[in-house]
């Protein structure tokens, strides 16, 4: 084939491709302009593949939970459009370190001050690497939490890669314990990624809040989070059709005051189904989605925050929450009153519980309004897996604004064939290898 006919073929193909694109665009135009609700994207069943057109136009895109809730790969613009109010805690932490005029150093992320349940992590090239662990393996609890948290970061980074984005190279410390016990000297600059912070504790303003491990899964009462979300829907109903009771199950010892108070005020009450769980006795355990059958779901703090809340918020029931000492990454969205009220606030000792339950039972329209607000804010938006992935990626960006830039590589020496050679290698070990380790990762790694 001569060059000339080759060029002609090329032109012909280009013209044909342009024509086909035009036909596709026209079809879309017709589809949108004839659907109900001027210009609204028609609802599709979940798990369809986004068309290239949808994928590229962030300005016209809106979050549709039926389509997008489980998508960890929304790009930065979509994360902002879908979850404009999600990043409060990240902004707070960034501002905290700016106000201190302190750039976080590698020494600030060392974890020798923790006896256990802590690790140091490196993110580079959208990959997760583990640099060091401190007793995250002994004890079933910490092991599960560590794997879950790393899995969450891994998933969020896969999402970044799928969205064509690259997370900044970052190095940080994480604890998977309920409380960090962060050093509390006035000028201390240690900082750590943690599930919660105590509101009255100034030292804990150094924390960076992360979505807790229950966003991955919560065996044995809930299983994988996204599966529980689906199962909970089975009990969707108007508040008047729900069991007219407050439901709670849990152990008392993690917070004798709060949980003991709840057990005491509800004892023998016909409007309450509140009992202690005995982990040894399977018939006392209730799966979280089964709590969605009830009109009221009660939340209680434990040793610090409690991971239960996001599960309860995935029911379409009335959340009852006592005044909280601890906050987590999405709690700033809890609204106790007004047009946007999305839960029922009660005293920390539940002394006003009976009165509130009585009032909301007598006012089903008001009750349903609170439920609808809760569903709109939490279940279909801010506690979705999509939101969680967006949060992690924004966190990496926020952290990088005020923290040191790590060197992801280290130089090691090896003796090869009698001579010493230097090798440059990535620090730590890959997440993929880490989750298959049988024992504890070396306490201190390069």
Ligand X SMILES: *[C@@H]1O[C@H](CO)[C@@H](O)[C@H](O)[C@H]1NC(C)=O
Span of 11-19, 110-118, 129-137, 257-265 interacting with ligand X by CB under 6 A: 257-265
Q: Which is nearer to ligand X, 277 or 429 (CB)?
A: 277
Within 8 A by CB and 6+ apart from 417, the residues are none
Nearest to 232 by CA among 319, 320, 315: 315
Closest CA to 188 of 304, 119, 95, 107: 107
Residue 107 or 267 with smaller CB distance to ligand X? 267
x/- map, 361-380, ligand X, by CB under 6 A:
--------------------
- Nearest approach in angstroms of CB 223 to ligand X is 22
Bridging pattern class, strands 344-346 and 318-322: parallel
- Closest contact distance (angstroms) between CB of 279 and ligand X is 11
**For the purposes of burial, counting CB atoms within 10 Å of the CB of 334, is it exposed (0-12), middle (13-18) or buried (19 or more)?**
buried
The least CB distance from residue 235 to ligand X, in Å, is: 22
- Any contact of residue 436 with ligand X (CB under 6 A)? no
**420: contact with ligand X by CB under 6 A:** no
> Cβ of residue 83: shortest distance to ligand X, in angstroms?
38
Contact 191, 108 (CB under 8 A): yes
| CA 417 centroid distance within chain | 50
Under the binding rule (CB under 6 A), the answer on residue 13 touching ligand X is: no
The yes or no reply on residue 2 touching ligand X (CB under 6 A) is: no
Choose one: 92-100, 104-112, 140-148, 260-268; the region binding ligand X (CB under 6 A): 260-268
> Is residue 261 a contact residue for ligand X (CB under 6 A)?
yes
Q: For residues 221 and 394, is the Cβ–Cβ distance under 8 A?
A: no
Please say which residue, 257 or 359, places its beta carbon nearer to ligand X.
257
> How many angstroms separate the CA atoms of 282 and 285, rounded?
5
Contact between 281 and ligand X (CB under 6 A)?
yes
Does residue 196 contact residue 213 with C-beta atoms inside 8 Å? no
CA quadruple 431, 437, 441, 445: dihedral sign:
negative
| 73: β partners | none
> For residue 426, how far is the Cα from the chain centroid?
28
In the complex with ligand X, the residue whose CB is nearer, 260 or 364, is 260
Residues near ligand X (CB under 6 A), total: 8
Residue sitting closest to ligand X (CB): 260
The neighbour count for residue 335, using CB atoms within 10 Å, is 16
Helix (H) / strand (E) element for 148: namely: helix 140-162
Question: What string marks each residue from 43 to 72 as x (binds ligand X by CB under 6 A) or -?
Answer: ------------------------------
Question: Is 387 within 8 Å of 259 (Cβ atoms)?
Answer: no
Count CA atoms closer than 13 A to 127's CA, side-chain side. Answer: 15
C-alpha span between 436 and 438 (Å, rounded):
6
Q: Find the shortest distance in angstroms from Cβ 257 to ligand X.
A: 5
How far is the C-alpha of 271 from the C-alpha of 206, rounded, in Å?
42
Judged by CB under 6 A, the residue of 257, 285, 340, 407 near ligand X is 257
| Window of 53-61, 137-145, 276-284, 352-360 that interacts with ligand X by CB under 6 A | 276-284
CB 271 → ligand X: shortest distance, Å? 19
Q: Six-digit token pair at 322?
A: 């006592």
Report the nearest approach of ligand X to the CB of residue 413 (Å). 17
Return the number of the residue (264 or 423) whose C-beta is nearest ligand X: 264
Determine, following the binding rule CB under 6 A, whether residue 300 of this chain makes contact with ligand X. Answer: no
Q: How far is the CB of 284 from ligand X (least distance, A)?
A: 5
Q: How far is the CB of 264 from ligand X (least distance, A)?
A: 4
Give the 3-state secondary structure percentages of the chain, helix then strand then coil, rounded to 5. Answer: 40, 20, 40
Kindly state whether residue 351 participates in binding ligand X, applying the rule CB under 6 A. Answer: no
| Residue among 23 and 415 whose Cβ is closer to ligand X | 415
Stretch that binds ligand X, among 160-168, 236-244, 258-266, 337-345 (CB under 6 A): 258-266
Of the candidate residues 151, 260, 345, 364, the single one contacting ligand X (CB under 6 A): 260
Q: Which positions touch ligand X (CB under 6 A)? A: 257, 260-261, 264, 281, 283-284, 417
């Amino acid at each position: 084939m001569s060059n000339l006919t080759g060029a002609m073929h090329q032109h012909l193909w280009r013209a044909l491709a342009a024509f086909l694109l035009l036909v596709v665009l026209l079809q879309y135009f017709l589809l949108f302009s004839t659907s109900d609700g001027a210009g609204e994207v028609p609802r599709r069943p979940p798990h369809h593949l986004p068309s290239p057109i949808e994928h590229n136009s962030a300005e016209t895109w809106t979050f549709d939970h039926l389509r997008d809730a489980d998508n960890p790969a929304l790009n930065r613009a979509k994360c902002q459009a879908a979850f404009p109010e999600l990043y409060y805690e990240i902004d707070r932490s960034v501002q905290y370190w700016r106000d201190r005029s302190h750039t976080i150093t590698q020494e600030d992320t060392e974890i020798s001050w923790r006896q256990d349940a802590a690790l140091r992590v490196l993110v580079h090239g959208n990959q997760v690497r583990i640099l060091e662990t401190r007793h995250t393996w002994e004890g079933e609890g910490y092991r599960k939490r560590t794997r879950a948290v790393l899995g969450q970061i891994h998933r969020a980074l896969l999402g970044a890669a799928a969205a064509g984005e690259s997370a900044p190279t970052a190095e940080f410390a994480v604890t998977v314990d309920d409380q960090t016990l962060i050093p509390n000297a006035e000028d201390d600059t240690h900082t750590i990624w943690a599930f919660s912070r105590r509101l009255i504790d100034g030292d804990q303003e150094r924390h960076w809040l992360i979505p807790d491990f229950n966003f991955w899964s919560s065996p044995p009462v809930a299983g994988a989070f996204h599966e529980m979300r689906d199962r909970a829907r089975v009990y969707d109903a108007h508040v008047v059709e729900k069991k007219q009771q407050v439901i709670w199950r849990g152990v008392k010892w993690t917070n004798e005051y709060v949980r003991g108070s709840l057990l005491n005020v509800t004892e023998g009450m016909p409007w309450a189904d509140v009992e202690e769980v005995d982990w040894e006795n399977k018939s006392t355990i209730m799966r979280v989605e089964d709590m969605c059958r009830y009109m009221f779901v009660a939340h209680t703090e434990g040793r610090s925050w409690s991971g239960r809340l996001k599960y309860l918020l995935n029911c379409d029931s009335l959340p009852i929450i006592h005044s909280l000492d601890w906050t987590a990454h999405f709690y700033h969205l809890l609204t106790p009153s007004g047009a946007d009220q999305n839960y029922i606030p009660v005293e920390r000792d539940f002394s006003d519980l009976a009165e509130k339950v009585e009032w909301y039972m007598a006012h089903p329209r008001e009750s349903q309004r609170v439920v609808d607000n809760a569903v709109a804010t939490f279940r279909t938006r801010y506690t979705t897996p999509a939101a969680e992935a967006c949060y992690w990626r924004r966190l990496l960006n926020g952290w990088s604004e005020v923290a040191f830039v790590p060197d992801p590589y280290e130089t090691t020496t090896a003796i090869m064939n009698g001579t010493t050679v230097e090798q440059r290698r990535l620090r730590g070990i890959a997440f993929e290898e880490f989750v298959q380790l049988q024992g504890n990762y070396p306490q201190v790694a390069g």
